[in-house]
Amino acid sequence: MPTSNAQQPNYQLRYILSGHSMSISSLKFSPDGTMLASAAADKRVKIWDASSGDIITTFEGHTEGISDIAWSGDSDCIASASDDKTVRIWSLDAGTTVKILKGHTNFVFCVNYNPRSSLLVSGGFDETVRVWDVARGKSLKVLPAHSDPVTAVAFSHDGTLIVSCAMDGLIRIWDAESGQCLKTLVDDDNPICSHVVFSPNSKFVLASTQDSTIRLWNYHTSRCVKTYTGHTNRTYCISASFSRTGWPYVVGGSEDSKVYIWDLQSRQVMQVLEGHRDAVLAVATHPTRNCIASASMEKDLTIRLWFDEPAANGVS
């Protein structure tokens, strides 16, 4: 291994949460860090206590499986994207659906809030990206964004840009206000793009593609500045996430049932979390603590919470 002064993480399994009865597709920590939300093909959204791993509540209402969930900024609401062609907004206070967003003409695959939580953006198998007014539950914009199912959409930290990616292998950057396409990133081999997210400062996008690679793109120069490899991703839409509570890492799931942790700068695999018994599709990093949540498919169906246990052993 080349010399690098990257800090060696030492994540250890602390909790195993079970409850879902079909593949788990998405995991998200609440912005205030107290809760973890999970969604699965069993049509349910479950809310867990992030520090104890206890189940808090289960939301049922979708008539088909759920592919993605997103928290509102105040941790009061969750939006879920489902194969029943709708996005539902759930209120934790009311314990029920408060809005149903109808408009997509096929499965809804991804959803995210803007920073003010006044807008939602969603993408789906109808190849469109839609922007919604949260307060009124109305569609504001329909962007004919891609020529294949849209696999991920997200807002930049200031809400002025939207990034989307699709199975057509393109990553597009949009002006949130006008809906204008500002930039398209494409790799030479055009692999199916399964997940994309802005960096915390929104100067880069982190994109996972089904050639078993995660790339960090500088979208201004259209240049790939970092490549992370070592994991397996050829079939499913697997998400990746920045870990920024301690040393900066990139965390991603893998079809070999493991979770990979890379050093952001050196691109080295720093730790591999083993334990799941099926492909890990969903990972999430805690907003304030050194904690990772991961969830797996059919043969396993557990959510695992991993905590960084400093110094004890494992320091190189």
Strands 269-273 and 280-285: unpaired
Of the candidates 15, 17, 47, the one whose C-alpha atom is nearest the C-alpha of residue 301 is: 17
Min dist CB 277 to other proteins, Å, is 33
Asked if residues 176 and 131 have their Cβ atoms less than 8 Å apart, the reply is: yes
State the residue for tokens 């993480």: 9
Q: Of the two residues 250 and 297, which places its CB atom closer to other proteins in the complex?
A: 250
Binds other proteins (CB under 8 A): choice among 33, 53, 73, 230: 73
Q: State yes or no: residue 25 binds other proteins (CB under 8 A).
A: no
Strands 35-40 and 24-29: antiparallel
Q: State yes or no: residue 100 binds other proteins (CB under 8 A).
A: yes
Q: State yes or no: residue 60 binds other proteins (CB under 8 A).
A: no
Task: Map residues 131-160 to x or -, x wherever contact with other proteins holds by CB under 8 A.
Answer: --xxxxx--x---------------xxxxx
**Cα-based distances in Å from 8 to 259, 310, 316:** 15, 9, 7
Task: Map residues 231-250 to x or -, x wherever contact with other proteins holds by CB under 8 A.
Answer: -----------x-x---x--
Q: State yes or no: residue 298 binds other proteins (CB under 8 A).
A: no
Q: Pick the stretch among 49-57, 218-226, 277-285, 298-306 that binds other proteins (CB under 8 A).
A: 218-226
d(CA 60, CA 105): 22
d(CA 180, CA 69): 25
Q: State yes or no: residue 117 binds other proteins (CB under 8 A).
A: yes
Binds other proteins (CB under 8 A): choice among 176, 261, 280, 305: 176
Binds other proteins (CB under 8 A): choice among 7, 118, 229, 245: 118
Q: Pick the stretch among 46-54, 111-119, 288-296, 299-307 that binds other proteins (CB under 8 A).
A: 111-119
d(CA 145, CA 129): 6
Q: State yes or no: residue 33 binds other proteins (CB under 8 A).
A: no
Binds other proteins (CB under 8 A): choice among 44, 172, 258, 276: 172
Q: Of the two residues 5 and 316, which places its CB atom closer to other proteins in the complex?
A: 5
Residue 10 neighbours by CB under 8 Å, 6+ apart: 271, 308, 309, 310, 311, 312, 313, 314, 315
- Coil, strand or helix at 122: strand
Burial of 99 (0-12, 13-18, 19+ CB in 10 A): buried
Which residues of this chain interact with other proteins, rule CB under 8 A? Answer: 72-74, 89, 91, 97-100, 114, 116-119, 133-137, 140, 156-161, 170, 172-173, 175-178, 180-186, 199-204, 216, 218-220, 222, 224-227, 242, 244, 248, 264-265, 267
